[in-house]
Amino acid sequence: MPVVATHENSLLVARYQTGVSEGGAPIVRQKSMSGIKETTTDQQVYDAAQALFGLVQYDLVQVRRDNRLLLNEE
């Protein structure tokens, strides 16, 4: 049977640098934020991450959008 994919939700995943290790390597953390609507554009997700991290002391390293799909048989 064919499989049908239905959008379940999206996450904004932000990776940010909190410092540097004793060896000089960057210390990177990750924060996921749920509740991103299906109709939200990728540009809006990116802009939201930029705005949020503009309010904190950490440098934003990467912005990712994870779309979750529910797979069912037709």
> Please, which pLDDT band fits residue 1 given cuts at 50, 70 and 90?
confident
**Amino acid identity, position 47:** D
pTM for the whole structure: 0.82
Eight-state DSSP code of residue 55: T
Q: Report which secondary-structure segment, H or E, holds 47.
A: helix 42-53
> Please, which pLDDT band fits residue 74 given cuts at 50, 70 and 90?
confident
